[in-house]
Amino acid sequence: MDITRRDLTAAGIGALAAGALGTPAMAAEGLVADLPEGLDEFALAVEAYIYAYPLVTMEMTRRVITNVAEAEGSRGPMGHLIKLRQYPDAEFRDVTAPNADTLYTTAFFDVGDEPWVVSLPDMKDRYALFPMLDGWTTVFDVPGKRTTGTDAQTFVVTGPGWEGTLPEGVTQYKSPTSIVWLLGRIYCTGTQEDYAEVHKLQDEVKLYPLSAWGKDWTPPKGKVDPSIDMKTAVREQVNNMDAIEYFTLFAELLKRNPPTDADAPMVVKLAELGIVPGQDFDKTKFDPAFVKRVPQLGFARIMTHFKFSGGDVQDIDGWGFTTKTGIYGTNYIQRALITAIGLGANRPQDAIYPTSLKSDSGVIKRAYNGSEKYVLTFKKGLTPPVSGFWSLTMYDADYFFVDNPLNRYSISARQPLKANPDGSIDLFIQHESPGADKESNWLPAPKGKFILMMRLYWPNESNPSIIDGSWTIPPVKKVS
């Protein structure tokens, strides 16, 4: 990824600002007119901002989620298992694009000083996966039904450069960074009976440091830092940082979460800005004129990648989706985009998340709005082809759940859905109820704008398959 002088022309900035931020196009004098000799340096700073975005976002997410004394709800201290006992609701703001199909069993832990042990119970063929993300949001390993099965299993997660001896019979997973986010998901139908069954499984998951192997160990209480903002959404907190605050934190994080070998060219570029892995940020090398402008343009550039991705994001019948998630290599802009709109995304073999922002009706595609009525129709036998499960989720314009009278944030085969006489299935997407006889197929929408996301867990890799293009999601049609 290279941000060039051409990218920073007035026209380029205007397109980015208008497309990504929903504001009038910024004229050249707004961001770079007074930097005629500094456009290359400004472009480099924007490139560095995009590169750093996942690591900074992961850290801010970790701070908010772990800044409690004991595990409760969606939060828990470092090294504590967080067990969500029901689906997240409209008040949930810890992570964008949350999942309402599984019960999360998650934890943040630090393997920089010693390895940590994870023990999973026998899931008895229930769909589950326990991906582990490093500090850069890379999914470095995925124990679960697709890969290791659902029998009881124990593994040890080690940190960068760790050398030592592990107990017999355990699998070693190597984290490239000290930060590890275990983001387990166990499928649940959402009934009280199935909640109880999954709760039993969650309670049998164990997490502890390797030094506690064979011992009774209770995680210590967490220390609460009152200076941490626990109310503002993480993405907003990150985006509100000026460049000095942002890069100071980034440099600190690099000390325990090193770049990969493939990042070597970027590391050279970072040094020009005063960012050297293992050292504090040298802000004397950073132009003060960039402090506010770099974050503005950096985030705008990230968000426009959704539409202008060069093939990273496909658009078929109004559904944008990508198979480039979980593992990114040096595709930093794609990694930053997924961080911004779907932090915690799986590898494509485990899940693909087609997203739709506009209906397919009419000559001009318009953003979804709850004042209108829409329908998504699956022809007979052509519901999403998966080995895990599928769902259609409703979000507001900021990728958070929408409050509604049914407390229904996603719709799937677990409803159960009613078929038409010809075997097809209609999903009704609108603000008002379509009627009692159709409510099982209703996904409630807000009064204003909204976003749709389809989740395909363990998608087929051969015909019919969204991966090879032999199956596609039907377009969402506006009902006249």
Q: Using 50, 70 and 90 to split pLDDT, how confident is the model at 306? A: confident
Claim to verify: residue 246 and residue 208 sit in the same structural domain:
no
CA atoms within 13 A on the CB side of 402: 24
Same domain as 101, residue 42: no
Over residues 124-143, mean pLDDT: 97
Element (H, E) at 266: helix 264-272
Is 192 in the same domain as 269? no
Domain of 158 in residue numbering reads as: 68-212
376 and 419 fall within a common domain = yes
CATH number assigned to the domain comprising residue 420: 2.60.120.600
Q: DSSP per residue over 69-130, as a string?
A: SS-BTTB--TTPPEE--S---TT--SSSS--SSEEEEEEEEE-SSS-EEEEE---TT--EE-
Instruction: Please determine, for residue 73, whether its predicted confidence score (pLDDT) is greater than 80.
Output: yes
- The reply to whether 336 falls in a domain is yes
d(CA 430, CA 433): 7
Residues 305-323 have a mean pLDDT of 90
If one counts the domains in the chain, the total is 3
pLDDT value for 143? 98
Q: What is the pLDDT of residue 440?
A: 96
Domain-located, residue 300? yes
Q: Is residue 450 part of a domain?
A: yes
Q: Are residues 346 and 419 in the same domain?
A: yes
pLDDT of res. 103: 93
Task: Assess if residue 218 is contained within a domain.
Answer: no
pTM attached to this predicted model: 0.86
CATH of the domain at 50: 1.10.3360.10
Instruction: Determine, yes or no, domain membership for 197.
Output: yes
Compute the distance between CA of residue 206 and CA of residue 276 in angstroms, rounded to an integer: 37
- Average pLDDT (324-343) is 95
Domain contains 280 = yes
* Burial of 293: CB neighbours in 10 Å, binned 0-12, 13-18, 19+: buried
Residues 132 and 182 in one domain: yes
- Whether residue 217 is contained in a domain is answered as no
The pLDDT assigned to 434 comes to 96
What mean pLDDT comes out for the span 465-473?
A: 92
Q: How many CB atoms lie within 10 A of CB 196?
A: 11
User: Domain check: are 73 and 182 in the same one?
Assistant: yes
Residue 4 pLDDT: 57
> What is the tens place of the pLDDT at every residue in 318-330?
998 999 999 999 9
Same domain? For 407 and 471 the reply is yes
| Domain final residue pick, 212, 245, 264 | 212
Residue 360 belongs to a domain: yes
Higher pLDDT, 11 or 301: 301
Per-residue pLDDT averaged across 298-316, rounded? 92
232 by Cβ neighbours in 10 Å (0-12 / 13-18 / 19+) ranks as exposed
Query: pLDDT value at position 88?
Result: 81
Same domain, 198 and 239: no
pLDDT at res. 27 = 35
Burial class (CB in 10 A: 0-12, 13-18, 19+), 41: middle
Instruction: Provide, rounded to the nearest whole percent, the portion of the chain with pLDDT above 90.
Output: 79
